[in-house]
Amino acid sequence: MDIRGEVVLITGGGSGLGRAIVERFHAEGARIAVLEKSPSKAGALRESHPDIVVVEGDCSRLDPNQRAVDETLARYGRLDVFIGNAGVWDNRTGLLQLEPERIGQAFDEVFSVNVRSLVLGARAAAQALLQSRGSMIFTLSNASFHTGGGGPLYTASKHAAVGLLRQLAYELAPAIRVNGVAPTAMASDLRSPDSLSRQPARDRPVDPASREAEIAAMLPLNFYPVAEDYVGAYLYLASRTAARVCTGSIIACDGGIDIRGIRPASGVAPA
């Protein structure tokens, strides 16, 4: 894809899908900036890629988002793509498993990362993207469209992110394209917030390695995705030429979940 020289700011770029995006975009010649909450992950990025901008901070707060944009502009003089990628999971904690006295905190923690950070990051980046006529790309989920990929908090937050994406695509056209990528399960270190760390989950906590066969069987394409499998969709949407006609679009990279219907994992239709 033709992204050489483009300036790309990524939230949550220190590990998992975010790190895969960083590596691929860097290899394709983009100039990279990252907003990363974890000091250790930020340090590892600086060590492996001394040429990229790494800002430590919480993407669910405005100041770190603005600082990341400011440092990106100070280094590169422009911003072409904002990728709102940071996210948290709810461990598929069901409504009846949520301790009533902790629901408010859990809601705030999930929505602050999965929704509020997108609003704040988009607002911080908007003026620079207006100048460059650039684009935004949000990381969504199969849970943005389907039930069962999380509990009520995660699923609601990812549905909300779809509404945000569509509204921003409407408001910011024609100057800024706003699109999304909706992956399914993958090998990553997606975490749950502190308020849910002691909640009894319906399923065991995120442990992708131990669930490889289970996830592969769940997908009609019958393989266990890794983060790198999804990066091509981001490259496409970031391209000014290849995705010129795309705004308000979401690429569902779900391994075929949307066509699964009520068929069992074996793919044999019920009688």
CATH code for position 162: 3.40.50.720
* Residue 254 pLDDT: 83
pLDDT of 197: 67
Q: Is 103 exposed, middle or buried (0-12, 13-18, 19+ CB in 10 A)?
A: middle
Angle at 40 between CA 62 and CA 155, to 5 degrees: 55
* Residue 187, in any domain of the structure: yes
pLDDT given for residue 9 in this prediction: 98
Instruction: Give me the number of domains the chain comprises.
Output: 1
Structural domain contains residue 171? yes
Number of H helices, E strands in the chain: 9, 7
- Contact (Cβ atoms closer than 8 angstroms) between residue 85 and residue 71: no
Summarised one tens digit per residue, pLDDT across range 158-207 is 999 999 999 999 999 999 999 999 998 777 666 667 677 655 444 444 45
pLDDT band at 209 (very low <50, low <70, confident <90, very high): low
Looking at the domain assignment, is residue 271 inside a domain? no
Is residue 72 assigned to a domain?
Answer: yes
Cβ-in-10-Å burial (0-12, 13-18, 19+) of 21 comes to buried
pLDDT tens for each residue of 113-146? 999 999 999 999 999 999 999 999 999 998 999 8
Of 154, 230, 234, 236, which is the active-site residue?
A: 154
Q: Is residue 131 part of a domain?
A: yes
Residue type, 199: Q
Is 33 contained in some domain?
yes
The answer to whether residue 265 is domain-embedded is no
Is residue 170 annotated as part of the catalytic site, yes or no?
Answer: no
> Furthest-apart CA pair in the chain: how many Å?
63
Give whole-number Cα distances, 178 to 22, 161, 206, in Å. Answer: 19, 12, 30
Owning domain of residue 180: 7-257
29-50 average pLDDT score = 96
| 263 falls within a domain | no
Give CA separation, 69 vs 9, 14, 33, 158, 197, in Å: 8, 17, 9, 24, 32
